[in-house]
Amino acid sequence: MTGGEVNFAWARAIVEVLVEYGIEEVEVAPGSRSAPLVLAALAESRLRVRVHLDERSAGFFTVGYARAHLGPAVVVTTSGTAVANLLPAVVEADHSDVPMIVVSADRPPEVRGADANQTIVQAGIFGGSVRSEVDLPLPSPERLRQAGRRSVAGLVEAVVRRAFGPPGGPVHLNVPFAKPLQPPSPVGLGLLGPEEPRRQRGSLEMRAAAHREGERSRMTWRKSVRSAGRELGDQGALVAELLEGSRRPLLVAGPATDPGLVGPATLRFAERLGIPTLADPLSGARFDRRLDSAEDSGGEGGPPTILGGYDHYLRSPPVMALLTPDLIVRVGRTPTSGALEEALAVWGDCTQVVVDDGSHPKDHQRLADHYLRAPAAELLGWVAERTPLRRASAGSRPGDQWREGWRCAETAAWEAIAEDLDGIDHEGAFAAAVVRALVPGSTLFVSSSMPVRDVDAYAQPAARDIQVLGNRGASGIDGIVSSVMGCAGGGAGPVVGIIGDIALYHDMNGLLAARDQRLNVVIVLMDNDGGGIFHLLPIRDFEPAFTPCFAAPHGLDFRHSAELYGLRYTEVASPAGLEEAVAAGVRRAGTEIVRVPTDRERNRRSHLRTRMRVARRVLEVLDKRGS
């Protein structure tokens, strides 16, 4: 065998392991050193190969794909800074517990640190952000003949399995190759171009349908590996005991790694035990088709108390005091709402339980009295199945009064929000319009910064067959466009992304993925010409530094971006116009941009006005109940 043939066989051995683990998609950024890996992927008919010109975009596309597909994709890069460009995506995958497999080509070990071209130290480049990594030896005929754990397949398998968890996360295979990189001829390699028909496990449309029905592939990364029965039982018994002694329990559901699994368990727990639940839009519990009808289980009285207006009324100290719980059970990551995060600290004297089996602790305020290392869906399910119903006839138990107080607050909040949004075009009204426009089975991907906060504050809980996703692991605004496109590539059905103008500017390269007309994506561009979120922070008073260094107006006309990538482009001026544009867009093939021009300062005043109106209305209602 020639050196190039050995490289190809080595790469084929790596690809065979990936396919065995259920991998279906490979994201490729062009480069010479990675040629053996790219050729091996193209020779495997069960893999879809997608080409990205920017490694940053390739990395975040991989993250978005895994969020939607419930299984990782592989991202392949050449050597040098190409690998370093993946770091932001790897960090997000790590903090989100999202599986991701990085395969980086490298130069031979002997030229590292010796001024060789395009050569850096790639082994260990991601530090503690990967679950596992391996720096493979150079390919050789002798090593190809090895079997067992020290074979190339054995080394790769030991790393790849760690991506699935639990908890899931990124892993890194560093693969050095010496020249000649490829075989002498392509004859007999069985290469298929990226756009040629391939032996897929299912079409994009079939995978989207399976996703909407909640089906799982063989190698799903959902946390289906159960905790040890006794340990889960002990943890569940503790929660059940705390609930039995509580008169004012509260469930806080933060952003979930897998909202399709945790969300339904949260709803069942809240319904069964009658617990008011503050549901983050990324928890999987705020929007669910089962919300408007409780299941028939022995006289339970209506749907669960799922709350979403809390970001407004928990900003009021008197309201916070009137709604003080004696027990808080928390699942998911830190809530999007800053007001809720502050309330958790103010309520620090009550017993707080965190249920989490992720890779990073979820208690940065150090409030947990009990930190239970367990899958949230399983523990909530265990408790719900074994705890007597809390619901009885209305008002017959202290818990009913507690629950009714939250319901009254919530009703008053949404009435006040509706009055304030009527005819007012601030960004919260636009966020609510996008949610209303979503068709059943669709996915909303919200950018960090203001979009996720606006969806949190203005999108009312409802019986909707939709899911909401976002990069809330490290909560950066980088890679949002690529993550949205990756969700569509992972089969999430119609995908709508709400993204700010700076986030779009940061990842315009991600729009290149829209060449694939099968990706049904509507990008809602909230364009306030800069960093609108900073207007809601104290730094806004620090002129002359504030406007140029924080608000940072750029004056860009994004219609040119749409023209560059050949995308349909629309501008709307009202929430009603946006709702109509999104509803039409999700029914069209391809990707399009809908721009919403807004004003940063007017948006700030609108948000503050709404918060004050809601807090005042809720306090009036709660005071009247207590008088």
Query: Torsions phi, psi of 527, nearest 5?
Result: -110, 100
Rounded distance between C-alpha atoms, residue 123 and residue 79, angstroms: 11
C-alpha span between 579 and 219 (Å, rounded): 37
CA distances from 25 to 58, 75, 374 (A): 12, 9, 30
pTM reported for the whole predicted model: 0.92
127: left (phi over 0), alpha (psi -120 to 50) or beta: left
Q: Judge residue 240's burial from the number of C-beta atoms within 10 Å of its C-beta, 0-12 exposed, 13-18 middle, 19 or more buried.
A: middle
Instruction: Please give the pLDDT value at position 426.
Output: 87
pLDDT digits (tens, 9 = 90+) for 335-366: 999 999 999 999 999 999 999 999 999 999 99
Whether the CB-CB separation of 433 and 457 falls below 8 Å is answered with no
Average pLDDT, the chain: 90
- For the chain, the C-alpha Rg in angstroms (whole number) is 25
CA distance 153 to 144: 9
Q: What whole-number distance in Å separates Cα of residue 169 and Cα of residue 134?
A: 15
Residue appearing with tokens 């501008």: 571
- What's residue 299's pLDDT? 34
pLDDT of residue 86: 98
Give me the DSSP letters along 154-223: HHHHHHHHHHH-SSP-EEEEEEE-PSS-S-S-STTS----TTS----SS-HHHHHHHHHTT---TT--SS
3-state secondary structure of 85: coil
| Residue 198, both tokens | 């391939």
Distances (CA, A) of 18 to 32, 254, 427, 608: 22, 32, 44, 51
User: Please, what are the domains in the chain?
Assistant: 3-180 (3.40.50.970), 229-397 (3.40.50.1220), 427-597 (3.40.50.970)
What whole-number distance in Å separates Cα of residue 114 and Cα of residue 134? 22
Strands 249-253, 25-28: pairing kind: unpaired
| Token pair for 71 | 């299984």
User: Which alpha helices (DSSP H) does 351-506 contain, by range?
Assistant: 376-386, 398-421, 427-437, 450-458, 480-489, 501-506
- In the chain, which residues have pLDDT < 70? 195-230, 293-303, 389-398, 422-425, 627
Q: Are 61 and 85 in contact (CB under 8 A)?
A: no
The angle that helices 398-421 and 600-626 make with each other, rounded to 10 degrees, is: 150
> In the 8-state DSSP scheme, what is residue 20?
H
What is the predicted pLDDT for the residue at 542? 96
Judge contact between 175 and 42, C-beta under 8 A: no
Q: Is 602 exposed, middle or buried (0-12, 13-18, 19+ CB in 10 A)?
A: middle
DSSP assigned state of 250: E
